[in-house]
């Protein structure tokens, strides 16, 4: 299975999302069933997107609280989304780690909430947090029965325009899998564009796309280029 995940962050308002949906739904979706396209809209627009999602797209949240119950102002809790559960949720994104102080311990607590709801986490890591995050999951679930995806985000490539060299990605993911096994899909995230998407296809199981996913044409081209390269 291949995964192409759009993280719209806080960069789309309601009008822009409707325009994206209109443009997207005019396109011919030609990828195989073993490719999953996932979109995480900004929190205020999640429910509307869930109710009128783009064709062929799995809905995704950008984060979730590890807290439960109603008395948590400003938090997205299991109760908040009980009638519109996403297929996936992004956890531990580098921006949330940096701006909100989230760490692997908190990310694992959030993942446990998602697993209870049968939602698959997309857990973001960098070189310093990759192995420790896996170890914490393994300690909680020794048989690794819960499903998740990892998204490798090198710190210098997030929103900077400086994408990671594909050969370096091959080394990083290969080294991780030699030590920890091939249990979970690993995506790459960091300044992905239509021009470089294909170069990562041989080395990872998919992409986590930021700014370039906010335009329907650009995001569609990223998916097409990644899949076309993967099939050659």
Q: Domain count of the chain?
A: 1
Structure confidence by residue, pLDDT tens digits, 123-178: 999 988 999 999 999 999 999 999 999 999 987 656 556 677 888 888 888 888 88
Question: Any idea what the CATH number is for the domain that residue 144 is in?
Answer: 3.20.20.70
- Dig out the tokens for 175 from the structure: 């080294």
Q: Please tell me the distance from the alpha carbon of residue 227 to that of residue 198, in angstroms, as a whole number.
A: 8
Is beta strand 206-209 parallel, antiparallel or unpaired with respect to 35-40? Answer: unpaired
CB within 8 Å of 132: residues ≥ 6 apart: 104
Residue 182 reports pLDDT greater than 90: no
99 in active site: no
Per-residue model confidence (pLDDT) at position 232: 53
- Long-range contacts from 165-169, C-beta under 8 angstroms, 24+ separation: 166/199, 166/200, 166/202, 166/203, 169/200, 169/203, 169/204
Exactly one of 45, 63, 93, 143 is catalytic; which is it? 93
Q: Based on the residue annotation, tell me whether 33 is a catalytic residue of this protein.
A: no
pLDDT in tens, 9-57: 999 999 999 999 999 999 877 788 899 999 999 999 999 999 988 888 9
Tell me the two tokens of residue 126.
Answer: 């960098």
Predicted local distance difference test score (pLDDT) of residue 159: 56
φ, ψ of residue 130 to 5 degrees: the values are -60, -60
Q: Which range of residues forms the domain containing residue 212?
A: 2-231
Helical (H) or strand (E) element with 113: helix 104-116
pLDDT in tens, 200-229: 999 999 999 999 999 999 999 999 999 987
User: For the whole model, what pTM was predicted?
Assistant: 0.94
Average pLDDT over the chain reads 91
């Amino acid at each position: 299975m291949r995964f192409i995940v759009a993280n719209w962050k806080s960069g789309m308002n309601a009008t822009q999302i409707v325009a994206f949906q209109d443009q997207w739904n005019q396109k011919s979706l030609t990828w195989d069933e073993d490719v999953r396209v996932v979109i995480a809209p900004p929190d205020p627009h999640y429910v509307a997107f869930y109710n009128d999602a783009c064709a062929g797209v799995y809905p995704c949240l950008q984060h979730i609280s590890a807290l439960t119950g109603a008395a948590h102002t400003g938090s997205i809790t299991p109760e908040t989304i009980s009638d519109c559960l996403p297929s996936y949720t992004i956890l531990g994104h580098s921006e949330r780690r940096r701006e909100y102080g989230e760490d692997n311990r908190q990310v694992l607590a959030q993942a446990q909430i998602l697993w209870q709801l049968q939602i698959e986490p997309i857990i973001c890591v960098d070189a310093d947090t990759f192995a420790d995050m896996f170890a914490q999951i393994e300690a909680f679930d020794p048989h690794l029965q819960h499903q998740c995806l990892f998204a490798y985000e090198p710190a210098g490539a997030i929103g900077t325009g400086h994408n990671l060299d594909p050969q370096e990605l091959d080394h990083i993911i290969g080294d991780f899998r030699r030590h920890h096994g091939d249990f979970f899909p690993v995506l790459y995230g960091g300044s992905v564009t239509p021009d470089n998407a294909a170069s990562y296809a041989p080395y990872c199981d998919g992409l986590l796309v930021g700014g370039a996913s906010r335009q329907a044409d650009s995001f569609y081209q990223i998916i097409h280029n990644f899949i076309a390269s993967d099939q050659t």
